[in-house]
Amino acid sequence: MKLLAAFPYYLVPLLVAGIPLYGAWRGVDVYGCFVEGASEGLKTIGRIAPAMIAMFVAVGMFRESGALNAAARALSPVARALGVNPDIMILAALRPISGSGSLGYLAELLQHYGPDSAEGTLASVVQGSADTSLYIIALYFSSVGITRTRHTVAAALLATLAGFLGAVLACQAMRL
């Protein structure tokens, strides 16, 4: 039983050592393959970096310009209709754009309302209910040169909306 409990601790070192040893045993130029893979990785970074930089700048401008707060104020009637604090709408709007930005805003909400409050619980569930879909679309599509996303953005935003509504319903059901 102790061996089974220790297995996860040794799995990664075994894989890191075992895969190159197996490749060498099979006659593969392990070092050459590693260098080739590292070179391809650097080329991929070169293709992805401009999209990442553009996205970080756009998110920073969006947040610092006050556009995010204006959007949340515009959505506050919807928030009230759902029984949600309008501050949560800012998190919901930020989540598809920036993971680090939404995580930072979540930390602010948790500090202000407390993690065990209704707002803190809902904010945490909203953070986990969606991914950074717009960031992912911009990054992956630009890295492979796709300029027309067709229905991808609409589908991603609908999925994000579904996750948000599911988070609201789940948290409201927990409060009953």
pLDDT at 56 over 80: no
pLDDT at 43 over 70: yes
Least Cα distance to 77 among 89, 68, 66 occurs for: 89
Q: pLDDT per residue over 140-159, tens digit each?
A: 888 788 888 889 999 999 99
Q: Note the Cα 6 to chain centre separation in Å.
A: 31
CA distance 30 to 35: 9
Mean pLDDT across 17-30: 94
Give the pLDDT band of residue 20 (cuts 50, 70, 90). Answer: very high
pLDDT at 168: 95
CA distance 103 to 162: 20
pLDDT at 3 over 80: no
Long-range contacts of 148-152 (CB under 8 A, 24+ apart): none
pLDDT at 1: 67
Least Cα distance to 90 among 108, 71, 104 occurs for: 71
Instruction: Please compute, for residue 122, the number of CA atoms within 13 A of its CA located in the half-sphere on the CB side.
Output: 25
The most distant pair of C-alpha atoms in the chain lies apart, rounded to whole Å, by: 67
Ranges of H-type helices in the chain: 2-25, 30-64, 67-82, 86-94, 99-113, 118-129, 133-143, 152-175
Token digits of residue 89: 């709408």
Q: So where are the chain's domains?
A: 48-175
pLDDT at 98 over 70: yes
- What's the length of the chain? 176
Residue with the larger pLDDT of the pair 92 and 56: 92
What percentage of residues in the chain have a pLDDT greater than 90? 48
pLDDT at 19 over 80: yes
Among the listed ranges 4-13, 16-25, 123-132, which one has the minimum average pLDDT value? 4-13
Average pLDDT, the chain: 88
Give the pLDDT band of residue 176 (cuts 50, 70, 90). Answer: low
Least Cα distance to 93 among 56, 54, 132 occurs for: 132
